[in-house]
Structure 1
Amino acid sequence: MTVPATPAPDAGLARLWLRGLGSRRDTAHRRLFVFPHAGAGAGAYRLAEHVPDTVEVCTVQLPGREDRFGEDALTSTDAVVTALAPLIAGRTELPYAFFGHSMGALVAFEVARGLRDRGAALPGRLFLSAMRAPGVPDREPLHHLPDDALLARLAADELAGLDPELQELLLPLMRADLTLCETYAHRAAAPLPCPFTVLHGTEDDTVGEADLAGWREHTAAGCDTHRFPGGHLYVRDAQQQLARTITRTAPAWA
């Protein structure tokens, strides 16, 4: 049995972590919480531009990026859940869903479990993108590599196309986010009662079909799959299509 949402925490703190909160106060019937990928901040996602005004998009801004660059990045899912779950629990007066890409999918899943632990209203659906299921072994860990070796690996993928000075500036953040993902230890629990949609790029070589199929074990409400053209960061070029995929299920979020 779900208990009513807890009283809203400090509004200023909520808006520090949840960008877009209250932006559609007069029109929103539903809310979408967005969890960015490793190294990315809220500014990397423009889903609000492509959804109807009945959906308020709140993108998570973790410490260590964009206007929170001066803060220490978090290096564990437990730390993120501790910070975010109370803020989101106080914002569940509307039916809502989670979308998380890569690291964000893992964070979204754990926040949903944290909300269940708190007796809060749960998301109507989790959209989990480009991330292996919890409990599936990680591939070669990178977070422990020396700076030069780690930078070389990231420059060919996540940091590709950025100025070398900017790559070096972002390296500590990337190491922190990799640490969060690669030291994550899944704890067994009952499947969530929320349906899942698993999303991925057709050319993504970082996750395989078996990695993604494992998500089905973590929901008691069904799991479907949707593919987009592109690689691991397909979201950069597919935000309009992604928004359409997410919002077409919006009536069922309640």
Structure 2
Amino acid sequence: MTTTQTFNSWLTYTKPNPHASVRLFCFPYAGGSSIIFRTWAESLPKTVEVCSIELPGRGTQMKSAPFSRLKPLVGAIAQALTRNQFAPALLPHLNKPFAFFGHSMGAVVSFELARLLRKQYGLEPVQMFVSGRRAPQIPDPDPPIHALSEPEFIEELRRLNGTPEALLENAELMQLLVPIIRADFEVLETYVYTTEPPLDCPITAFGGLQDQEANCDELQAWREQTNAAFSLQMFKGDHFFLHSAQSLLLQSLSQELQQITSKIDRLQLNSD
């Protein structure tokens, strides 16, 4: 039997791996795209297939308008993961155990997506990896920045240290990027957390020791969002430690994913 994977502008499989035991969905930070994760498959176990989420306004979704609210964004991602025009009863991208990794904005998006999939399909990830983002029940202590004037907004981006200086100085490119990044910040800054039962999947939180956007206590509070195991790992670096400490982060991810896939493979062997 052969299978055909149809093009889906929301999803990027840089290294398709149909025999993988686990599919890892990766969610970018505000202003980021799937390109952040383009080399991750090379550093993770061969039992893991990496699928990056591409948000509107960038990459394969360059011509689509970005979302400015979380709920419709999460709903659209859920539809992209579950739709199959040829067999509506099947979930083509959720047809094997899956895990989520999200950094900053991506952590909030993946968390709310996990809650939505639980509600609508009775499905949960086997593991949640949340990175560089305080727990969702903690209100944002900072004033919103998405409506600032362009010079003030760009200065905030400079302070966060996630946008290369050469890009910030390029007025033509920033004219294209600022509306997308503004929309992403609006998604975060208008998000209202609602109380629901904790997830049943384990959560691992990652943080940067010098990150002023999410400190150790704020990351530790993710523990409240799971009925299963919780762990926290801190790395040297600021909010964008996933770049500066990427090799250590991927090493940690590899170890956890290897344990997950080994467990899944053992369970499958026992059931055969």
Could you state the TM-score of these two structures normalised by the residue count of structure 2? 0.83
Aligned residues: 243
The structural deviation recorded for 1:22 is 7.5
Q: Is the 8 A contact 1:34 1:60 kept in 2?
A: yes
Of residues 29, 37, 48, the one that matches 1:37 is 29
Q: Is the 8 A contact 2:68 2:187 kept in 1?
A: yes
Question: Any idea what the Cα deviations from partners look like across 1:23-53, whole Å, max 9, x if unmatched?
Answer: 112x312110000101010012231121122
The structural deviation recorded for 1:235 is 1.0
Question: Any idea what the Cα deviations from partners look like across 1:225-252, whole Å, max 9, x if unmatched?
Answer: 0111111001113333222212322233
Q: Is the 8 A contact 1:21 1:56 kept in 2?
A: no
Of residues 220, 223, 236, the one that matches 1:216 is 223
Within the alignment, does 1:164 sit opposite 2:157 as a pair? no
Match of residue 44 from structure 2: 51
State the AA in 1 paired with 2:155: A
Of residues 63, 87, 90, the one that matches 2:56 is 63
Gaps of 5+ in 1: 1-9
Q: What SS is found at the alignment partner of 1:56? A: strand
The structural deviation recorded for 1:141 is 1.2
Q: Could you tell which deviates more after superposition, 241-250 or 103-112?
A: 241-250
Question: Any idea what the Cα deviations from partners look like across 1:165-206, whole Å, max 9, x if unmatched?
Answer: 223321111100000001000011000111100101111111
Match of residue 5 from structure 1: none
Q: Is the 8 A contact 1:102 1:129 kept in 2?
A: yes
Question: CA separation of 1:23/1:105 partners in 2, compared to 1, >3 Å: closer, same or farther?
Answer: same
- The CA RMSD over aligned residues, in Å, is 2.0
Match of residue 81 from structure 1: 74
Match of residue 7 from structure 1: none
State the AA in 1 paired with 2:106: G
CA distance in 1, matches of 2:191, 2:248: 31
The structural deviation recorded for 1:211 is 1.6
CA distance in 1, matches of 2:249, 2:122: 27
CA distance in 2, matches of 1:132, 1:195: 17
